[in-house]
């Protein structure tokens, strides 16, 4: 997720804009864009599916995926099985946790106004993390997220940036949680309005109003309950509910899973609607005291959902990835969207596969099958592996990840959630533009900066099969 890709947007370094490419659609209607090597047909998932001889073959069964996840948790320290957490943390453990996410920034930070954050202002954010409130024994509570919510570096919604000419990258934004996610609550901010929360793959601050506190057993049992319904589109929503606003039109991002309820449990009239043409799910809610309660909610059957996980197939990898095509890039799940690692994580989670949150954790992680490259590995040596890529393989460069979707001739193509655009054309002319969303691109023509191509910077290829 970090560092490199957003640099694409900076100085043009003297390069002249190239003319927009004309691409003719099947309907002979010209489409003007500046993404070299991409036709309108290649923006359709069927284009890539048609190249696969057996796209519906199951790559890993449910038992294999469970074993894969178990190994990932064993290998990756940032992955946490909440059921293994103790009843309480010591002062040293909690202080270490707070410092791991809420240390004073080492580099200048700016507000959108252009004002640089002062040492005193940064110290105030640090004080809000409530190190003074750490006790010798710090009980761990549990809760469920009741709606999509940001997880932040400090307990504040203030946005701070590395530079004022790029206000898409809020450096206090870390990630997001979705409805029904279990959380371990390890600390509370000085003002009592934020929780320091551990999800299965991240520790950061979340506003308390988005979390319902329950007993440990109920929270963890809810997260494992079957059968469950999961969202398979980029976003789906619960039905409008005039009787209970808190469960009305709740956004469910891809891979959000909620337990299913039966007609015997809810009857034949729910909130003034017959539920038979919808799925009925058990939605977590927060009462006036912040405690956990559950309520039925409806999700219309016309929306893209799946009972249980999708089979792990090439077809589903491609379809799920293309369900995000065109969504705006959102650093750390900002902008009600996601970034490069959020994108690949949510695609794979619909098939039951879990992985760490950030690109460095994923790319350097030992889970999956990995091919590693040293910093001085010649591009020619890396190219040898490109012909052997499999659908869904992940290629990592510092701060970014791309997903392989197929070849066109000798050129590998990828789909990725990417901030900027740089490439060289066949004549070697440099071009800089912007993508800022989930995009299909060739791989070998892309550049990280004026000198380095994606291939120069790729340090790992990971297969999750």
DSSP run (H or E) holding 342: helix 340-349
Q: Which residues pair with 447 in a beta bridge?
A: 453
- Burial state string for 18-44 with b = 16 or more CB within 10 A and e = fewer than 16: beeeebeeeeeeeeeebbbbbbbebbe
Domain with residue 403: its CATH number is: 3.90.1720.10
**431 shares a domain with 344:** yes
Other Cβ atoms within 10 Å of 457 Cβ, number: 20
**444 shares a domain with 347:** yes
Predicted confidence at residue 30, as pLDDT, reads: 54
Q: Hey, what are 425's tokens? A: 């054309």
Instruction: Tell me the residue range of the domain where 260 lies.
Output: 228-307
Using the structure block, give the residue that is written with the tokens 């891809």. Answer: 254
Other Cβ atoms within 10 Å of 8 Cβ, number: 21
Report the predicted TM-score, pTM, of the whole model to 2 decimal places: 0.93
Residue 71 lies in a domain: no
**373 shares a domain with 459:** yes
Predicted confidence at residue 109, as pLDDT, reads: 98
Domain with residue 122: its CATH number is: 2.30.30.40
3-state secondary structure (DSSP) of residue 176: strand
Q: Hey, what are 333's tokens? A: 């799940």
**204 shares a domain with 114:** yes
Contact 156, 172 (CB under 8 A): yes
Pairwise CA distance, residues 286 & 294, whole Å: 8
Predicted confidence at residue 52, as pLDDT, reads: 97
Q: Which residues contact 462 (CB under 8 A, 6 or more apart)?
A: 362, 363, 365, 368, 369, 370, 371, 393, 394, 395, 396
Tell which of 270, 286, 307 closes a domain: 307
3-state secondary structure (DSSP) of residue 161: strand
**350 shares a domain with 272:** no
Consecutive 10-residue runs of the chain (465 residues): their mean pLDDT?
36 33 43 89 98 97 98 98 98 98 97 97 98 98 98 98 94 98 98 98 98 98 98 98 96 98 96 98 98 98 98 98 98 98 98 98 98 96 96 98 98 97 88 96 96 97 97
Residue 67 lies in a domain: no
Q: Hey, what are 458's tokens? A: 């790729």
Integer-rounded Cα radius of gyration of the chain: 23
Contact 244, 271 (CB under 8 A): yes
Predicted confidence at residue 21, as pLDDT, reads: 43
């Amino acid at each position: 997720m970090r560092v490199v890709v957003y640099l694409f947007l900076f100085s043009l370094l003297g390069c002249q804009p190239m003319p927009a490419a004309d691409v003719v659609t099947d309907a002979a209607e010209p489409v003007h864009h500046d993404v070299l090597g991409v036709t309108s047909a290649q923006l359709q998932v069927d284009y890539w599916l048609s190249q696969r001889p057996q796209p519906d073959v199951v790559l890993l069964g449910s038992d294999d995926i469970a074993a894969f996840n178990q190994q990932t948790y064993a290998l990756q320290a940032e992955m946490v099985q909440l059921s293994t957490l103790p009843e309480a943390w010591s002062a040293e453990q909690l202080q270490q946790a707070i410092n791991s996410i809420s240390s004073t920034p080492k580099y200048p930070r700016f507000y959108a106004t252009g004002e640089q954050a002062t040492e005193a202002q940064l110290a105030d954010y640090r004080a809000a993390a409530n190190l003074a409130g750490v006790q010798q024994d710090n009980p761990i509570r549990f809760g469920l997220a009741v709606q999509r919510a940001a997880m932040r570096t400090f307990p504040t919604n203030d946005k701070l940036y590395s530079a004022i000419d790029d206000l898409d990258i809020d450096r206090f934004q870390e990630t997001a949680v979705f409805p029904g996610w279990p959380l371990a609550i390890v600390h509370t901010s000085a003002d009592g309005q934020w929780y320091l929360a551990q999800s299965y793959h991240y520790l950061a601050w979340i506003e308390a109003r988005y979390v319902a506190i329950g007993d440990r057993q109920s929270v963890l049992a809810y997260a494992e309950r079957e059968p469950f319904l999961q969202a398979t589109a980029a976003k789906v929503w619960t039905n409008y509910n005039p009787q209970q606003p808190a469960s009305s039109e709740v956004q469910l991002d891809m891979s959000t899973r909620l337990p299913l309820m039966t007609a015997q449990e809810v009857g034949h009239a729910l909130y003034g609607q017959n539920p038979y043409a919808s799925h009925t799910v058990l939605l977590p809610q927060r009462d006036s005291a912040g405690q956990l309660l559950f309520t039925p909610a409806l999700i219309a059957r016309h929306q893209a959902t799946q009972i249980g996980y999708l089979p792990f197939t090439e077809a589903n990898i491609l379809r799920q990835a293309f369900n995000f095509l065109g969504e705006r890039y959102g650093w750390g799940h900002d902008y009600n969207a996601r970034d490069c690692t959020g994108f690949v994580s949510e695609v794979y989670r619909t098939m039951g596969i879990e992985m760490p949150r950030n690109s460095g954790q994923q790319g350097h992680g030992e889970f999956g099958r990995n091919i590693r490259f040293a910093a001085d590995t010649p591009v020619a040596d890396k190219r040898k592996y490109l012909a052997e890529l499999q659908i869904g393989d992940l290629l990592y460069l510092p701060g970014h990840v791309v997903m392989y979707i197929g070849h066109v001739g000798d050129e590998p193509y990828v789909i990725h959630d990417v901030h900027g655009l740089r490439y060289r054309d066949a004549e070697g002319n440099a071009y800089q533009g912007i993508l800022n969303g989930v995009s299909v691109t060739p791989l070998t023509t892309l550049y990280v900066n004026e000198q380095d191509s994606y291939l120069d910077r790729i340090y790992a290829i990971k297969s999750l099969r």
